[in-house]
Amino acid sequence: MTAAGTDSAVLEPTTPVAYRVAGKRKEMGDTWTLELEPVGDQRLPGFLPGQFSMLYAFGSGEVPISVSAIAGGSGELTHTVRAVGAATGAICDARPGDQLGVRGPFGSVWPLDAAEGGDVVVVAGGIGLAPLRPAIEQLIAERDRYRAVTVLCGARSPDEMLYPSELQDWREAGIAVETTVDSATGDWEGRVGLVTKLIPLAPFQGERATAFVCGPEIMMRFVAAELRGRGIPPGRIHVSLERNMQCAVGHCGHCQLAHLFVCRDGPVFALDRVEPLLGVREL
Ligand SMILES: Cc1cc2nc3c(=O)[nH]c(=O)nc-3n(C[C@H](O)[C@H](O)[C@H](O)COP(=O)(O)OP(=O)(O)OC[C@H]3O[C@@H](n4cnc5c(N)ncnc54)[C@H](O)[C@@H]3O)c2cc1C
Ligand code: FES
C-alpha cells in the first residue's frame, strides 16, 4: 500500500535510491533522528504511518527502519534510529551530506481509517514510540474523526523517554498523554512502573476502542493482555513486529513467522493473527 498520487511503477523495490542526510538530531545517548532528502531526481513513493524503509549504509549493511514522521510531499524521509550494531551504528554516525541507499515504502499500516468514530489508545515502549509517531500526528491532524485519543509511553529511565518536547504539544492538541519510567532518575516526579500500569487509568471504552502498540515483544504481550482485559477485542489491537530482514518484498524468507512474512504481511498485525506466535522462541 502506498500513498495516493505517487509514482512507484518506475522504481524497482530491490534497488536502493540515493538519499543524503539533510539534518540530524540526537534524541538520547545512542538514538538519532535523521532527515533524508533525495540526491537526484529519483525519489521514493510516499510512506504511510506504520511502514518502513530499508536503509543501506554503504559497506556496513542494510536494515529495516520505520518512518518516524510523514513528510508533506517534498520527498524527505524521517527515521529515528538506535545504534545497536554495525548497520544502525553506521547510519547513526552518518553526517549531514553523507549518502545512504533507501528502498521502500514497505509493509502494512496502522489502520487509522478503521479506528474512525471510536476511541484510540496508543501504547509505546522505548523507541517503539518512533513508528507510532506518524500515527499520532495523523490522529492530531484529523482529531475530529475520533473520540478519546490516549497515548501511553513507557521508558526505562527519564533520559530514555523519546521526543519529550513533543509530548506536551500532543496534550495541547487534545489528546491524553501519560508517561512512566521503570526507574526514576534526576528530578523525575512522574509515574514509576511498567507501561501496563497506565492502562487501567486510561480514558477509553474497550467496546469502541482500537489500540496501536509498539515496543519490545514481551512488553507487547503484557500490554495486549491488559487491553483485552479492558474489553478491546484482539482484532482491534494492532502490534508492530520486528524480525531480521533481507529482501523486504516477501522473497527470501528471512522474516518468516510461521505462515506469515513480517515484511509483506506486517509489520503491523492485528493481534488475532499473531498472538499464538508471539513469544515462541524458535519463531
Ligand atoms: C519493520 C521494522 C522496523 C524497525 N524500525 C526501527 C526503527 O524505527 N528504529 C530502530 O532503531 N530500529 C528499528 N528496527 C530494528 C532495526 O532494524 C535493527 O536494530 C537492525 O536491524 C539491527 O541491525 P545492525 O546491523 O545495526 O545490528 P546487528 O549486528 O544485526 O544486531 C546488533 C544487536 O541488536 C540485536 N537486534 C538485531 N535486530 C534486532 C531487532 N530487529 N530488534 C531488536 N534487536 C535486534 C541483535 O540481536 C544484536 O544483539 C526495525 C525493525 C523492523 C523489522
Ligand atoms: S525479508 Fe525477505 S521475505 Fe521478508
Tell me the CA–centroid distance for residue 129 and ligand 2, in Å: 24
Which of 54, 62, 263 has most ligand 2 atoms within 8 Å of its beta carbon, as the pocket-test mutant? 263
Atom of ligand 2 lying closest to residue 251 CA: 3
Is the domain of 60 the same as that of 97? yes
The reply to whether ligand 2 has any atom less than 6 angstroms from the CB of 247 is yes
Residue 213 within any structural domain of the chain: yes
pLDDT tens for the chain, 283 residues long, are 444 344 444 568 888 999 999 999 999 999 999 999 999 889 899 999 999 999 999 999 999 999 999 975 455 899 999 999 999 999 999 999 999 999 999 999 999 999 999 999 999 999 999 999 999 999 999 999 999 999 999 999 999 999 999 999 999 999 999 999 999 988 888 999 999 999 999 999 999 999 999 999 999 999 999 999 999 999 999 999 999 999 999 999 999 998 999 999 999 999 999 988 876 554 4
3-state helix, strand, coil in the chain (%, to 5): 25, 30, 45
The reply to whether ligand 2 has any atom less than 6 angstroms from the CB of 241 is no
Q: Phi first, then psi: give them for residue 129, nearest 5 degrees.
A: -70, -25
Range of the domain at 22: 17-106
Kindly write down the DSSP assignment for every residue of 137-202, as one continuous string: HHHHHTGGG-S-EEEEEEESSGGG-SSHHHHHHHHHTT-EEEEEESS--TT--SEES-GGGGGGGS
Residue 230 within any structural domain of the chain: yes
Residue 74 within any structural domain of the chain: yes
The reply to whether ligand 2 has any atom less than 6 angstroms from the CB of 252 is yes
The reply to whether ligand 2 has any atom less than 6 angstroms from the CB of 261 is yes
CATH of the domain at 37: 2.40.30.10
In the chain, the amino acid numbered 3 is A
- What pLDDT does residue 281 have? 52
- What pLDDT does residue 4 have? 39
Q: Phi first, then psi: give them for residue 113, nearest 5 degrees.
A: -65, -40
Q: How far apart are CA 179 and CA 243, in angstroms?
A: 27
Residue 12 within any structural domain of the chain: no
Is the domain of 147 the same as that of 45? no
Q: How far apart are CA 196 and CA 228, in angstroms?
A: 12
DSSP letter assigned to residue 69 = B
The grid coordinates listed for 51 are 511502514
- What pLDDT does residue 186 have? 82
Q: How far apart are CA 71 and CA 67, in angstroms?
A: 10
Atom of ligand 2 lying closest to residue 252 CA: 2
Is the domain of 256 the same as that of 127? yes
Tell me the CA–centroid distance for residue 170 and ligand 1, in Å: 28
Is the domain of 266 the same as that of 129? yes
Q: In the sheet that 119-125 helps form, which strands lie side by side, from edge to edge?
A: 191-192, 176-181, 149-155, 119-125, 209-214, 237-240, 268-270
The reply to whether ligand 2 has any atom less than 6 angstroms from the CB of 245 is yes
Residue 134 within any structural domain of the chain: yes
Is the domain of 152 the same as that of 82? no
Residue 5 within any structural domain of the chain: no
Q: Which ligand is nearest to the CA of 268?
A: 1
Is the domain of 226 the same as that of 178? yes
Q: Which ligand is nearest to the CA of 245?
A: 2
Cα angle 175-147-124, degrees, rounded to a multiple of 5: 45
Q: Which ligand is nearest to the CA of 217?
A: 1
Residue 6 within any structural domain of the chain: no
The grid coordinates listed for 188 are 523525575
Among 106, 139, 174, residue at a domain's last position? 106
Tell me the CA–centroid distance for residue 270 and ligand 1, in Å: 22
The reply to whether ligand 2 has any atom less than 6 angstroms from the CB of 13 is no
Map 147-163 to HEC letters. CCEEEEEEECCHHHCCC
Is the domain of 84 the same as that of 206? no
Is the domain of 224 the same as that of 192? yes
Residue 7 within any structural domain of the chain: no
The reply to whether ligand 2 has any atom less than 6 angstroms from the CB of 170 is no
Q: How far apart are CA 283 and CA 279, in angstroms?
A: 8
In the chain, the amino acid numbered 224 is A
Is the domain of 146 the same as that of 259? yes
How many domains are contained in the chain?
2
In the chain, the amino acid numbered 135 is A
Q: Which ligand is nearest to the CA of 33?
A: 1
Is the domain of 101 the same as that of 123? no
Which of 249, 259, 265 has most ligand 2 atoms within 8 Å of its beta carbon, as the pocket-test mutant? 249
